[in-house]
Amino acid sequence: MAMTSLKTPMLRVGTAIAGGLVILGAIFGGVRAASSAFSTKTPAAKRAELASAQASRNHDLNLAAASVGAMGTSAPQASDAQVSLGRAIFFDPRLSVPEGTSCASCHDPRRAFAGNHGSTSGVALGSRPNHFAKRNTPSVLYLRFIHKFHLHWEEDAPLVNAYAGFFWDGRVDSIVDLVKQPLLNPDEMNGGEPRRVAATIASGPYAADFRKEFGGALDDPDPNAILKALGEAVTTYLLSPEMAPFSSRYDEYIRGKEQLTTTEAMGLKAFKDPAKGACSGCHKLNDRSPDSKGSLFTDYEFDAVAAPRNRALPANHDPNYFDLGLCERADADYKAKTAEFCGQFRTPSLRNVAVRQSFMHNGVFSKLRDVVAFYATRDTNPERWYKSGTFDDIPTKYRDNVNVEKAPYNKRRGGTPALDDEEIDAIVAFLGTLTDAQFR
Ligand code: HEC
Ligand code: HEC
């Protein structure tokens, strides 16, 4: 389902289409020249024309959902040795400066591969005191189902939708490329020069295995060779089946092997009910199929939910600083031309959400119940969540991007919340059934 289809009243369709064209134009280059020809046509005609422009380019630009494979499911089966090597690197605390912080310090297996690394502000501590990641740590489980970032035009939708990619803003398409970011980021692992990384690997317990898999990468004078090899090893591990266990009570339930309690069942119902939580509109599930892959609890689309500002974040001490999410992608002219995407973040999977330490891209919530209560009362009682009484973590000029059309956040101030306390508790209980066996 296209969340934006319900989000934008007809009034905004004209500008929305124009915005969409600019994005596509920015990305396609060649289409931009043709875009002015659309302007006098009806929205339907514009969409049709745009769709054919997309179709002719799908090929190299990965635009249609159907043409983009999920990251891990089509990859050749990796050997156990390759997976073990990737795992050893992921857990190696010697790769940071100073030593002591591995990928697993933030992507903590005791927390279903997410975590704050000892910080209480909602974002993880890096390898040095007073250095913090910019956003809340997502879990690195179930990444094999994420597709490459692309734009996606739903039938009848007034707006183009952004879809998938890694990170909260979908800005990276391959884990191989991604790994150097936390590894070298001074606020995260602060790993130093690629030469230091190579020396650490060469002196590590898995050096021989690394040489076997990646031949000369350790001695290659090109510093990118070692980062690429390390990225490939970690990718193999993160996309391996062990990182998508599907062993939760919910999975057993859809396989017909487990019952839900009365409260959990009530929570599932409210989670799906379009007049209650309506959560499954974005956090997708299919409880009528025993195939867990139909229940990833995300549609990988982006939305502006308007999480309250997290005043504990160092960057937020500057009142003019805002994390704009999808606008922060560097590859297109999003910031200047496609204001529609500012404030949007990728819908996270809710698998293992109950063992997370903080919630939302900015880690503003530390209790799962608060997140669910926020959804229920954001619009009816905004002063409960926002000091200023209204969306406070998005610049005023982008405030209209916040989704106020889609259930459950389509209520009026002072109205009846979509969920009462009992239903909120039930949804929280249901979310507890999504914890995989090894993290309970
Ligand atoms: C200091 C904490 C920290 C460390 C250490 C860390 N990460 Fe992360 N990781 C994060 C944060 C925060 C994000 C989200 C960043 C964003 O969205 O901008 C993230 C995102 C990711 C993602 C994307 C997940 C998704 O759902 O899109 C992957 C993959 C990942 N990290 C892998 C790694 C690997 C591999 C290492 C080790 C080389 C590592 N991380 C080390 C904090 C950390
Ligand atoms: C219109 C799409 C949409 C709907 C409907 C929706 N969500 Fe979300 N959800 C999101 C997005 C997008 C985020 C990330 C927002 C952010 O970080 O700013 C999110 C984040 C969350 C998180 C935090 C997860 C984490 O890893 O930090 C929880 C929990 C959650 N949603 C539960 C729910 C529940 C429960 C409902 C129903 C009451 C619901 N959502 C309805 C899109 C949606």
What is the distance between the alpha carbons of residues 69 and 65, in angstroms, rounded to a whole number? 8
Residue 210 Cα, ligand 2 centroid: separation in angstroms? 39
Whole-number pLDDT of residue 333: 56
What residue owns the CA closest to ligand 1's atom 8?
182
Q: Name the DSSP letter for residue 206.
A: T
What are the pLDDT digits (tens) for 213-222? 998 899 898 8
Helix, coil or strand: residue 132: strand
Q: What is the Rg, in whole angstroms, of the alpha carbon atoms belonging to the chain? A: 22
Every domain of the chain and the residues it spans: 3-72+148-163, 80-145+174-243, 249-439
The ligand 2 atom at the shortest distance from the C-alpha of residue 365 is: 27
Mean pLDDT of the chain: 83
Q: CATH top-level class for 249-439?
A: mainly alpha
Mean pLDDT over residues 359-383, rounded? 97
Helix, coil or strand: residue 436: strand
DSSP β-ladder status, 150-152 and 161-163: antiparallel
The ligand 1 atom at the shortest distance from the C-alpha of residue 123 is: 12
- Supply φ then ψ for residue 13, to 5 degrees: -55, -45
Q: The domain 80-145+174-243 belongs to what CATH superfamily?
A: Cytochrome c-like domain (1.10.760.10)
Whole-number pLDDT of residue 165: 87
Task: List all residues whose CB is within 6 A of at least one atom of ligand 1.
Answer: 90, 101, 103, 105-107, 117, 124, 126, 133-135, 137-138, 140, 143, 166-168, 175, 178-179, 182-183, 188-189, 234, 238
What is the distance between the alpha carbons of residues 268 and 263, in angstroms, rounded to a whole number? 9
Best of 139, 371, 401 for a ligand 2 pocket test (most atoms within 8 Å of beta carbon) = 371
Residue 137 Cα, ligand 1 centroid: separation in angstroms? 6
What are the pLDDT digits (tens) for 399-424? 999 999 888 888 889 999 999 999 99
| Contacts of 279 by beta carbon, 8 Å cutoff, 6+ apart | 271, 272, 375, 408, 427
Model's pTM, two decimal places?
A: 0.86
Do the domains 249-439 and 80-145+174-243 match in fold?
yes
Query: What is the token pair recorded at 56?
Result: 């002719």
